[in-house]
Structure 1
Amino acid sequence: MIRIHEVTRRFGDTTALDAVSLDIAEGEFFALLGPSGCGKTTLLRVLAGFETPDSGTVTLDGRDLLALAPHRRPVNLMFQSYALFPHMTVERNIAYGLAREGLPRAEIRERVTEVLDTVGLTALARRRPQQLSGGQRQRVALARAIVKRPRLLLLDEPLSALDKQVRAEMQLELKRLQHEAGITFLVVTHDQEEAMSLADRIAVLDAGRVQQVDTPVELYRRPRGRFVAGFVGANNIFAGRLLASGGLDVPGVGVLPAAAGDAASGDITGLVAVRPENIRFADPDGDADAPLQGTVLDISFFGGSSRIAVTVPGLDRPVLLTAPGPAPVAPGARVALSWHPESAVLIEETVETTVETTHG
């Protein structure tokens, strides 16, 4: 439905968007994920009509979207601040855009009643924003956006103002609303968990460029490049030589478990990533072949699981692993670590021969 082709936007010497190309399907819940300053909000503003790109095209159903004034586009933007009118009731806030378009009162009443029911605010229709909780105000803003029935709804960090519990509830609510309304949603967020739980597909941006577009599962399992591997979830990144016979030869550490390299081209120098949940403890005395030996540095308990950091001689950063429930070890313990070779994902080929272990 939406085709973004080589869109570039500069602000002085800063390139906010650098030849960005994306396709968004009708009815899709699409997320733009990246750190602050990566260009995701600028792209949202281009689609809304608040920014004009220096080059590139944006089409909706094959028609030039950039040629339309903002108020003529079948696009609605839900602001991060919600921007509700404090002197208006919930139902008047929702009806405002329809009234500005000059729709008949009967149609306005019907559409407002319908959307109030959809977002579960019928009982609060006569209240004003200051009488509502943060989650309820967010629902009002959503209702005001979808009541106009746009083809595309843009959401800029929609859940950032909510506490953790309400945010989790609203993530489910957003998915339900998107499904019921049948509107294409494009959400901008820097929260990887939010993007992974909401979106059908995710575009990861960094420094104005698209680094990878994929489903949440594939993005997590098969990151392409160092940035995506480090930004989407925690990761252990090892640099070395991927052997055609199997294993990753890390200078000063040894051969770590990894799938065989490309036999046709021989050994490959590059980076591989191993997720913390794929690393297990081995017996440091009984498993002489355990690839890594180290000392437990720190343990973080999260209720259902524990994140354990282990310092390993030869690596400049601790190796992270996740264990179910309370940690089976204590800080200072000597441990051995291992993982299945298929868990080590090649993320980047490089000419570097140094060792690096990082985590996101």
Structure 2
Amino acid sequence: MNEPLVRIDAVSRRFGEVRALDQVSLEIRQGEFFALLGPSGCGKTTLLRILAGFEYPDSGSVTLDGADLLAVPPHRRPVNLMFQSYALFPHMSVAKNISYGLERERLPKAEIRERVDAVLTTAGLTGLARRRPHQLSGGQRQRVALARAIVKRPRLLLLDEPLSALDKKVRAEMQLELKRLQHEVGITFVVVTHDQEEAMSLADRIAVLSEGRVRQIDAPVPLYERPADLFVADFIGANNLVTGVAATDGLHVPGVGVLPCRVPAASVGASATLAVRPERVRLGCGDGLAGVVADVTFFGGTTRVAVRVAGLDRPLLVTVAGAAPVTLGEQTGVGWSVSDAMLLGQD
């Protein structure tokens, strides 16, 4: 396992009455793609700006390779930030945009040319070196912004909502491109996003933030399958959440019955929430809950079915492969196995 490159320890930051960061601690490993994920106002951008040197915490420490990063002025940090807007110089060619930072450092012209040529190849921009930004597509402009950031060979590259300006198809292509580029150049990437799919597809590990606090840090699969609390379960992907009282045989829900799940001995008798993913729920279960199909939404490869069950305040969601075997208004059963549901305590 790679050693931590960055250590953030008990970092807090206030803006007036608003606590943007509240005792945040996490580690970012050398060479990993790390995502800061959360809703607007959760503190992720403030944390990114602290790493870049545009903000300073009220308390706590940040180290890079064991050295105090907060003591280093922004322009001297081995850290680069790719802005959400790309911020390309419109009057400069692609090659000049990329070389600008190296020229400011007064590197030898031969070295600049060599590094720019290498990064043009890596980013798939070789034939576009003489073009201006207005002659490029959104995906190409994003590649130029990335190339400009990595040509300086930072230890840490910070990306603030890097794909938000792209349409859905180009965004999907650039997610693959971004991952390939990160592996090829070997730089540690930290991406800020509120897009769960983006974080899940790009990152080696994800820190989920809410109200300035870290709720969970994990790889995408365990984060999805084993959320640490109710907020993460609700925020990451679609989930069926049902509240009741934990008992030895499952979750007792008034007016509904006993829902199958594993119940730890310590939770028996307490109020709890059952979480089961839509793809884990089965339609047509004779021994499950009886319901009526309230909605059928076809997405191409999958269909999302909403089943209204008497006693529940919202329909249960079911994801099936291909077209749905049920129609609107049809009566059906829904169910799941004990191992497919998680029991979460109240936040």
TM > 0.5 between the two? Answer: yes
* Pair 1:194 & 2:191 matched: no
1:248-281 deviations in Å (ceiling 9; x for gaps): 111121001112x234774443112000000001
> How far 1:86 sits from its partner (Å)?
0.3
Equivalent-residue separation in structure 2 for 1:82 and 1:349 (angstroms): 41
2:82 pairs with 78, 82, 88, which one? 78
SS in 1 for 2:344: strand
Counterpart of 1:276 in structure 2 is 278
> How far 1:349 sits from its partner (Å)?
4.9
* Pair 1:12 & 2:16 matched: yes
Equivalent-residue separation in structure 2 for 1:168 and 1:95 (angstroms): 28
Equivalent-residue separation in structure 2 for 1:73 and 1:264 (angstroms): 48
SS in 1 for 2:102: helix
SS in 1 for 2:62: strand
How many residue pairs get aligned? The number is 343
TM-score (normalised: structure 2) = 0.97
SS in 1 for 2:92: coil
* Pair 1:333 & 2:330 matched: yes
Counterpart of 1:149 in structure 2 is 153
2:264 pairs with 258, 262, 265, which one? 262
Equivalent-residue separation in structure 2 for 1:265 and 1:89 (angstroms): 63
> How far 1:238 sits from its partner (Å)?
1.3
Letter in 2 for 1:257: P
Equivalent-residue separation in structure 1 for 2:313 and 2:271 (angstroms): 19
Structure 1 vs Structure 2 CA RMSD: 1.2
Counterpart of 1:317 in structure 2 is 314
In the alignment, structure 2 segments of 5+ residues that lack a partner are: none
Identical columns (%): 69
Counterpart of 1:119 in structure 2 is 123
1:251 pairs with 254, 279, 288, which one? 254
1:215-254 deviations in Å (ceiling 9; x for gaps): 000000001111111110000011122222x321111210
SS in 2 for 1:127: coil
Matches within 5 A, 1:1-360: 1-244=5-248, 246-259=249-262, 261-263=263-265, 266-283=268-285, 287=286, 289-290=287-288, 292-349=289-346
SS in 2 for 1:331: coil
* 8 Å CA contact retained: 2:230, 2:346: no
Letter in 1 for 2:261: A
> How far 1:347 sits from its partner (Å)?
2.2
SS in 2 for 1:3: strand
Query: Are the structure 2 counterparts of residues 4 and 340 from structure 1 closer, same or farther at C-alpha, using a change threshold of 3 Å?
Result: same
Equivalent-residue separation in structure 2 for 1:80 and 1:2 (angstroms): 23
In the alignment, structure 1 segments of 5+ residues that lack a partner are: 351-360
Query: Are the structure 2 counterparts of residues 240 and 146 from structure 1 closer, same or farther at C-alpha, using a change threshold of 3 Å?
Result: same
1:1-38 deviations in Å (ceiling 9; x for gaps): 10001111111111111111110000010000011111
Equivalent-residue separation in structure 1 for 2:267 and 2:324 (angstroms): 42
Letter in 1 for 2:97: N
